[in-house]
Chain A
Amino acid sequence: MPDDSPLIRARGLVKRFGTFTAVDGIDFELRRGEAFGFLGPNGAGKSSTMRMIGCVSPPTAGELTILGLDSVRDGAAIRARLGVVPQEDTLDVELTVRENLYVYGRYFGLPRAVISERAAALLDFVQLADRAGDQVEPLSGGMKRRLTIARSLINAPDILLLDEPTTGLDPQARHVVWDRLFRLKRQGVTLVLTTHYMDEAEQLCDRLVVMDGGRIAAQGTPRGLIGEYSTPEVLELRFDPADHDAAADKLTAVPATRREVLADRILLYVPDGDATLAQVRALGLDPLTSLVRRSTLEDVFLRLTGRQLGE
């Protein structure tokens, strides 16, 4: 396989559960060494897509080629070269940390000596070496997640799939996981991850697709998407709830590329937030709080779908 051919290639990929369409004809390609993300809210179809890529969910329609092989016919051979971190941990909590790696290594047919060597290196890498002999059950959520990541690397995979790697973790535990994933990325590991955190997508992904309702709403680099679908700056205004609607009306007089009236805030998409804030004050409006910030993927999502990611 020539090195520039895509590692994953999906064309018109569809997944239906009964009459419900979870993934509605998506196309994407993944190249070697990149970190590729699916960003979307709950129910967007991210996990359904990941499970098809993981060859544990046959596509209802469309083409899916992974490492040059057919995802249905060659599922076992493909899975041998994937690392999978599923959305829900599937660790054997009754075994020890090390036993989990051994069991998994054996599933890939690795010799004992190879598993030993890799397990030691991987437990170091995810900072669990001191817990190697402990049972998994009492470990914290963040530790379990890191163990799942170590386990997914035991077969030295060509592609690492991470389905919401930090969902449910507290901020500190998330940062530890991000740090480890960032190192993998720096080492040239090909990553595919899903997330509904725009900061996660912005930090980790070279390229991403925005997914909503089973479809791809847009794709590109984080910077590129923000450039294409948002303005450089955003002015966020919060008014007293009693004045919120009246203020929203008045603000139509302020020039802005776009405005979003949310339940609790009003967002003005503009090239220069401070200049716009001056214009707002000149109108006699006095917001309770005002914030000028750079556009994020959250704004891209809002623009594309009319909804916020967290909703």
Chain B
Amino acid sequence: MDAGTALTGAPTGAPRATTPGWPFAFRQFRFWLTDYRRTWRGSIYSSLLNPLLFLSAMGLGLGSMIDKHGTARLGGVSYLVFLAPGLLAATAMQTGVGEATYPVFGSVKWNKTYQAASATPLRPADIFHGHLLFVTMRLAMNCGMFLAVAAALGAVSSPMVLLALPVAVLTGLAFVAPIEAWAVTRTTDTSFAMIFRFGLIPLFLFSGIFFPITQLPVWLRPVAYATPLWHGVALCRALALGTATPGASLLHVVYLLAVAAAGVFAGQRTYRRRLYV
């Protein structure tokens, strides 16, 4: 074939305008998979190393001291078992925010792969959804690896903990969708460091991962209740320890879904505004 016959040839089998969005989003998902092929090895090492470090230092090290003082406030389980579901939710948040900031900003600002994609049949919403699909996969991978490490360290008391996996992924998405919606509007990357410093670290420390938030001053508790992370931590823990009740579980899920859905709604608009100038 020479380039000319390719060019003047028959129709390209291209989709119609009426084709629904998901096949298009899947094409963008495939792009991210190609991109990930370059970095997956390193990402897997850190996904295994992080839980190993945290669970052994905090869970085993600190935990052995805490367990001596009685575990009643922890619901009668060892500190390690108490900690693991909380860290699972935090892992999802950490992974999600990492994927939702620099990769999104870089795609529109540095490498301009988003602009490249928007010159094809893909629409801005497809480009957004495609990345959400990819991040969902990354969340599931990292949370799965977290659970494997936790199980190996004896931090898992029952197979019920598997129910916590989708909840952790949903917790991650409650961060990912709104942050992506915002990240794509940025013209500099200066605010991302602020998110990590003043957003993630306080959330990490005060969302009931390391201690029940009943230990917080009363005035601070509503702040924790408002953050998606606390809902994720509370539900992951309840599922892992077998203490979940239908009412509270539903409330947590609805809250997380609502935050994620609001982010998706916003992102469909901000992606369009950024890519269609």
Instruction: Please report A residues at the B interface, Cβ cutoff 8 Å.
Output: 17, 51, 54, 56-58, 69, 73-77, 79-82, 84, 86, 88-95, 99, 102-104, 106-110, 117-118, 121-122, 125, 153, 155-157, 160, 183-184, 187-189
B113's partner among A51, A56, A90 (CB-CB below 8 A) is A90
- 13 CB-based A-B contacts, threshold 8 Å: A77-B14, A77-B121, A84-B119, A95-B34, A106-B30, A107-B28, A109-B14, A109-B23, A110-B12, A153-B3, A160-B7, A187-B8, A189-B7
What sequence of 0s and 1s flags, for each residue 91-133 of chain B, a beta carbon within 8 Å of any chain A beta carbon?
A: 0000000000000000000011101111111110000000000
**Cα separation A76 to B174 with both chains bound (whole Å):** 29
The contact of A125 among B2, B31, B122, B275, by CB within 8 Å, is B2
Known: A91-B116, A187-B8, A189-B8. A106 touches B27 (CB 8 A): yes
- Chain A residues near B12: list those with CB within 8 A: 80-81, 108, 110, 155-157
Residue ranges of B at the interface with A (Cβ–Cβ < 8 Å): 1-4, 6-9, 11-17, 19, 23-24, 27-28, 30-31, 34-35, 38, 111-113, 115-123, 275-277
- B6 pairs with A153, CB closer than 8 A: yes
CB contacts (< 8 Å) of A51 on chain B: these are 277
Instruction: Contacts A74-B17, A108-B12 given; indicate if A79 touches B3 (C-beta within 8 A).
Output: no
A-B Cβ contacts below 8 A, count: 133
B15 touches A92 (CB 8 A): no
Across-interface contacts of A104 in B (CB, < 8 A): 116, 120
Q: How far is the CA of A69 from the CA of B34 in the complex (A)?
A: 33
- Do the beta carbons of A107 and B120 come within 8 Å of each other? yes
CA distance A251 to B122 in the complex (A): 60
Distance, CA A144 to CA B122, complexed state (A): 23
Q: Which of chain A's residues have a CB closer than 8 A to the CB of B16?
A: 77
Cα-based distance from A80 to B14 in the complex (angstroms): 6
B121 contacts A79, C-beta separation under 8 Å: yes
Q: Which A-B residue pairs are the 5 nearest by beta carbons? A: A187-B4, A80-B14, A107-B120, A90-B116, A77-B17
The secondary-structure label for the interface of chain A is: loop
Which chain B residues border A91 with CB–CB below 8 Å? 116
Residues of A within 8 A of B112 (CB): 88-90
Q: Which residue of A lies closest to B3 (CB)?
A: A125
Residue of A nearest to B123 (CB): A76
B188 to chain A, nearest CB (A): 18
Known contacts A86-B115, A103-B34, A110 near B13 by CB under 8 Å? yes
Given A110-B13, A118-B1: A95 in contact with B27 (beta carbons within 8 A):
no
Complex: chain A residue closest to B4, CB-CB:
A187
How long is the Cα–Cα vector from A109 to B117 in the complex, in angstroms? Answer: 12
Assembly CA distance A296 to B275 (angstroms)? 38
Give the residues in chain A near B4, CB-CB below 8 Å: 183-184, 187-189
Task: Determine whether the beta carbon of A121 is less than 8 Å from that of B3.
Answer: yes
Asked if B121 contacts A109 (CB within 8 A), the reply is yes
Instruction: Evaluate whether A92 and B13 lie within 8 angstroms (CB atoms) in the complex, with A56-B275, A106-B27 already known.
Output: no
Residue of A nearest to B107 (CB): A92
Q: Which residue of B lies closest to A121 (CB)?
A: B1
CB pair B15–A106 under 8 Å, yes or no, is no
Please indicate which of the listed interface residues A81, A90, A118, A188 has the most CB atoms of chain B within 10 Å of its own CB: A90
Instruction: Assess the B116–A92 pair: CB atoms within 8 A.
Output: yes
Q: How far is the CA of A213 from the CA of B112 in the complex (A)?
A: 28
A109 and B275 alpha carbons, distance in the complex (Å): 21
Return chain A residues, CB-CB under 8 Å to B118. 56
**Residues of chain B with a CB closer than 8 A to A57's CB:** 276-277
Residue of B nearest to A72 (CB): B276
In the assembled complex, the Cα of A89 lies from the Cα of B116 at a distance in Å of: 9
Chain B nearest Cβ from A229, distance in angstroms: 34
Closest chain A CB from B37 CB (angstroms): 9
* Chain B residue at smallest Cβ distance from A82: B119
Min CB–CB distance B5 → chain A (angstroms): 8
**Interface contact A76-B15, CB-CB below 8 Å:** yes
Q: Which residues of A contact B120 (CB under 8 A)?
A: 79-80, 104, 107-108, 155
Contacts of B13 in A (CB 8 A): 109-110
What is the distance, in angstroms, from A52's C-beta to the closest C-beta of chain B? 10
Choose among A58, A73, A109, A156 the residue that contacts B17 (Cβ–Cβ < 8 A).
Answer: A73
Min CB gap A120→B, angstroms: 9
Given A74-B17, A106-B31, A110-B13, A184 and B7 contact (CB-CB distance below 8 Å): yes
Query: Which residue of A is nearest B117, CB measured?
Result: A107
* A74 CA / B14 CA spacing, docked (Å): 13
Contact B34 A99 (CB under 8 A): yes
The residues of A that contact B116 with a CB separation of less than 8 Å are: 90-92, 104
